[in-house]
Structure 1
Amino acid sequence: MIATSKAPSSGTTRSINWADKHYLVIDDCASIRQLLRESLRSMGAKFIDQAMDGSEAVALINNKRYDIIMCDYHLEGGRNGQQILEEARGNNWLKPSGIFIMVSAEKSADSVMGTAEFHPDAYLIKPITEGMLNTRLNRIWQKKQVFQKIDLAYARKDFAGAAALCDIQIAGNKLHEHDLLRMKASLLLKCGERAKARAIYTQVLCQRECTWAKAGLAELHLQDGDYGAACQMFQDVIDGNHLYLDAYDQLAAAHKQLGQQEQASTVLEQAARLSPNSVNRQRTLGEVSLRLGNVAAAEKAFRKCISVGEHSISRTADPYFGLARACGIRKAPLEALQILATVQKKFAGDAGNLRARITEGLVYLDNDDQQSATAIAEEFKAMLATASAGDLPLPDTCMDIATLLLEVGIKEPAVKLLCYIIQNNDDDKSVRDEVQKVFEHAQMGEEGAELIEGARKEASEVMNRGVLLWKTNRLEDAVDWMRAARLKLPGNLRILLNTAQILISHVQKRGYDPALLAEAAEVLALINRMAPGQRRHTELLLQLGSIMPDILDVAGQAVAPGA
């Protein structure tokens, strides 16, 4: 509830015209909405909309850009406040200068930490006085104005210009210098200016102990493939600030790249205890736990992921398939099959049906129904006999298919599929380790190690041939070669990155060609979907944008013309 209090009178308060701002109040309690409206009106607010649930709120935010949103964390039915904020951020529905304030009577760590991960501008605990609201809004609004021009430049994809604006603001706003330096470093990374970003992180750390600067250096190590250094630095971040949750996720990713699944699981469990309402973290924890054979932990994580993700923008079918596997392993086949039936209803589509079918086969295997498992394996054997590389599913699904085939004695297509996985992930140690485990489980450990090495060598030879053609200036041949390589190995990131590089180089050296630029944009968009945050992707995207700026969408991602 709102406790009535005189708003403090100050020069800062009088300098802000609250009357011309647009507000949205979201609360399922009519009396609370009324009290919040009255509090805002006492500050001079005129344009106040209201919503009583998540669906109504999302519809309003989608259609109108509000200056100030006040949202209750707990809403009856559907989305909660955290999920509304998550969706608004994910869809870029919030103005650069807009304010999102989470309001709640809930003081629990789960609520506060979960919401904090999506960066509301404030988290206010009820009861809220008019004076408290006025003071907080004034403080936030003044800070927002410092960043408004920077945010607008960011929205235009003018990252270099936005970084320059940071310098201008630093000169006149020493109070916000630290935040501006942090923003500048992130902008420099988007410009491909890694050395300059590193210099900022180093400079800040020379002056004081700073969590974000240390995390920035750690992320640079992670992007460079220096996973050992990344692990050490992210652990230092956590030791210094155990609530810096992003460091846990990044540390787990570094451990996974080193093949250290148990360490990754431990880190994710620590983060999940601090903030259990992250859909992506619970899903990753479930997947890692399942690989380690910790079925109880996997089942717990997948159930939590499904629960908190029901109304989330991050909701996917993955945790349902993981939960079905966990139920199958603990000898609950009926429950597993019911989960698979549910997921097919919730996530209709060929990919979902395919994963449901292979998961069903694995559930039969786990429960000693060899006949049913073999029947499904024969279906996949027939499918693989006619499938091209582009028709094959994602690596995790391919791994499950190969596992099923080997378990029922269908060796040849399984081996081909596992080698295909390696060829598409030839520099990913965690994938190699998983494939080796499949071979070892099938009593093929030594043979599997040789097959893995041979598959890696073949993938490297394919890529190196295209790079050699490019470096010897045989650009047309290089483009043709890399197109063929993409058809053969459509999931190989190194081949995709080099394909984009060769297409862009062709235009730079041979002259403007919109078809080649569109092809490069398509490849870069695919890379970003497969593995967001790739350092080289950012560099190539900037090269592409310098040739044809209109080929980038509002989020700075590559899109083909007319898309």
Structure 2
Amino acid sequence: MIPQLAKETKVLIVDDQVLAKGYMKYSLEELGFSDITYVDKAQLALERIRHQHYNLIVCSYNLKRDQDGYYLYEQLKHNNELPPSTAFIFISADTTSDIVHSIVELQPDDFLAKPFTVNDLDKRLSKVLSRKKALNGVYRYMEKRQYPKALSELEQFLAEPKNSEFYPLALKTKGDLLLASGHYEQARDFFHAILNVQTFTWAQLGLVNAYIHLDEDEQAEKLVLRLAFKPECQLAAYDLLSALQIKQKDFNAALECVLVATEISPRNIRRHKTALDLSRITHDYASQFDAAKKIVKFAKDSIHDLPENYLNVARAGIDYAMTCEDDETDRLIKQANEYVKQFKAAFPKAELHEQMKVINARLLYLQDEKENAKALLEQLEEENWETDSLEALLDKAKAFHELGWFERSANIMDKIEQRCVRDEKQGSLFMQYLQQEKKEREDIKLPPKALNNKAVELFEKGDIENALVTFRQAFTVMPKNPAIALNLLQTLSKESSNDDTHPPSHRLIKACIETIENGTLTEEQEARYHRVRGILEQVS
């Protein structure tokens, strides 16, 4: 360690283990550090960082007393409270794969596994602090979001041969700045030039990003699919791939991609929220319910721990129950009620009485207590469109629609859409879901399960034309249900055998077959499926 560098470095240690703090104090003093502050809670660290600039933060990943190191770092990054000139290093005794993946995707300046020696610490800190000091001028402009000045400073830095040891980091920073500045063509050409010399992973990821923004989707897809097989950049590749699929409106593929990434690194709340949004668009009620539960689980003791998380689980459970058989519906109602209880225990002072009335009304509807559900909704105060959350308003619209108050439901949908248009922060996926939900509820008045029952009744009466219309509506809102897919496929085969001049849609048949073969059928349904496939093969 360069003595002057250690002397100039202001250090914050975040650790709640007495022995670990003692060893860290001894190690840092051995290396010449003297300006050292210790805290044992993430909240105390946050307060210090907000009032004081630190050159180095060494944080335990495994804080026990309140939120842990993961969420402290995430909060600092989310709020732009961690300047790029500050080095942030995680230390942890736990090196299981999910912990390592979580830390790697956060991209701190380094990660040091316990136990470590003074010599280990010396090597890591010397490298990190030297990099920060060398690029300090660039970082200062980045902190002020003065990207043109940062790029100019970076060009001067790269022109100096004495800085050659830091060229890889400087080049990566240049690529990041070009993307942040929206100079996508320049960024693409820059990354190409880098890759012609050496195949840095960061340059490949940057090139994919540039391709996506330049609508060069084919090149982006080819490259990102290769990167998804590399462990060191797997998560970043999955994020870029799902972004590309969302851009192309291939929401099923995007959901599959995001769910794989959540398995690799389960603590990333943003990714679970994306999974929730995508599962709603694709009508994957099971995945929606699972994502909502994971948000509650992993958001505890973090900036994401909010009362509405619990209510969103209840809402997702209700949406799921609307599509299930009675025994499954009962199980989902119990789980929804359990999360309502957890919400009340975790946030006893939260005043969300109106939202609770809507949730309870929807639960009553599921239990065939429609009049009680209506009475509960009639108790709602005059709608306050500006203060209710969008999720609360959406839930209210669903409740009114389920109980037959279609005009009131449509009015709420309109208000939500108006707010989304005004609110630039609202995600495009929510808007996509809202517009889809709005159209479907305009076109389809019956609830999901009733659609299938009505279609079966029409089919048995021989009214194939109207049965087909109703089964298609049921499949629209329940595309993952193999029984409904089979009923629709059977109706399509019946129609095609009656009228061979209008063959059924191959895309629809393919979608039905995909749902059936990815699902589970009874023995009777399996036999019926093979008969139907035979009929369709004869008429195709």
* TM-score, length-scaled by structure 1: 0.67
Contact 1:163 1:187 in 2 (8 A): yes
Distance 1:54 1:175 in 2: 34
Q: Aligned AA for 1:109?
A: S
**Which aligned pairs between 1:47-446 and structure 2 lie closer than 5 A?**
47-172=35-160, 173-220=163-210, 222-223=212-213, 234-240=224-230, 243-289=233-279, 292=282, 294-328=284-318, 329=321, 330-331=329-330, 332-333=332-333, 335-337=335-337, 339-340=339-340, 342-343=342-343, 346=347, 353-378=353-378, 383=382, 391=386, 396-418=391-413, 431-442=434-445
**Which aligned pairs between 1:489-508 and structure 2 lie closer than 5 A?**
none
Which secondary structure does the structure 1 equivalent of 2:12 belong to? strand
Contact 2:184 2:214 in 1 (8 A): no
Which secondary structure does the structure 2 equivalent of 1:157 belong to? coil
Which secondary structure does the structure 1 equivalent of 2:404 belong to? coil
Shift of 1:103: 0.9
- The structure-2 alpha-carbon separation of the partners of 1:357 and 1:166, relative to structure 1 and needing over 3 Å to count, comes to farther
Shift of 1:312: 1.6
Q: Aligned AA for 1:319?
A: N
Shift of 1:76: 1.9
* Cα deviation digits, residues 70-101 of structure 1 (max 9, x gap): 22211223111112222233344445432221
Which residue is 2:33 aligned to? 45
Which residue is 1:510 aligned to? none
Shift of 1:393: 5.0
**Unaligned segments of structure 2, at least 5 residues:** 322-328, 422-427, 452-468, 470-540
Shift of 1:268: 1.4
Superposed CA RMSD in Å reads 3.5
| Higher alpha-carbon deviation: 132-141 or 17-26 | 17-26
Shift of 1:342: 4.9
Distance 2:434 2:220 in 1: 19
Distance 1:262 1:401 in 2: 27
Distance 1:204 1:240 in 2: 19
Contact 1:399 1:435 in 2 (8 A): no
Give the fraction of aligned pairs with identical amino acids, expressed as a percent.
21
Distance 2:307 2:209 in 1: 29
Report how many aligned residue pairs link the two structures. 430
Distance 2:129 2:145 in 1: 24
**Unaligned segments of structure 1, at least 5 residues:** 1-12, 447-563
Contact 1:99 1:121 in 2 (8 A): yes
Distance 1:209 1:93 in 2: 32
Which residue is 2:530 aligned to? none
Shift of 1:309: 1.4
Distance 1:403 1:155 in 2: 44
Between Structure 1 and Structure 2, whose CA radius of gyration is higher? 2
Distance 1:97 1:239 in 2: 32
* TM-score, length-scaled by structure 2: 0.69
Distance 1:215 1:311 in 2: 32
Q: Aligned AA for 1:375?
A: A
- The structure-2 alpha-carbon separation of the partners of 1:433 and 1:236, relative to structure 1 and needing over 3 Å to count, comes to farther
Report which structure shows greater RCO (CA 8 Å, sep ≥6): 1
Distance 2:157 2:292 in 1: 45
Shift of 1:218: 3.6
* Cα deviation digits, residues 520-548 of structure 1 (max 9, x gap): xxxxxxxxxxxxxxxxxxxxxxxxxxxxx
Distance 1:288 1:194 in 2: 27
- The structure-2 alpha-carbon separation of the partners of 1:255 and 1:443, relative to structure 1 and needing over 3 Å to count, comes to farther
Distance 2:369 2:222 in 1: 46
Distance 2:8 2:413 in 1: 62
Contact 1:67 1:95 in 2 (8 A): no
Which residue is 1:555 aligned to? none
Distance 1:434 1:236 in 2: 36
Distance 1:253 1:438 in 2: 28
Distance 2:379 2:267 in 1: 38
- The structure-2 alpha-carbon separation of the partners of 1:234 and 1:22, relative to structure 1 and needing over 3 Å to count, comes to same
Distance 2:216 2:393 in 1: 28
Contact 2:191 2:203 in 1 (8 A): yes
Which residue is 2:13 aligned to? 25
Distance 2:97 2:196 in 1: 33
Which residue is 1:4 aligned to? none
Shift of 1:343: 3.8
Contact 2:417 2:434 in 1 (8 A): yes
Contact 1:154 1:162 in 2 (8 A): yes
Shift of 1:422: 6.0
- The structure-2 alpha-carbon separation of the partners of 1:73 and 1:192, relative to structure 1 and needing over 3 Å to count, comes to closer
Contact 1:211 1:240 in 2 (8 A): no
Q: Aligned AA for 2:441?
A: V
Shift of 1:129: 0.4
Distance 2:371 2:211 in 1: 49
Which secondary structure does the structure 1 equivalent of 2:36 belong to? strand
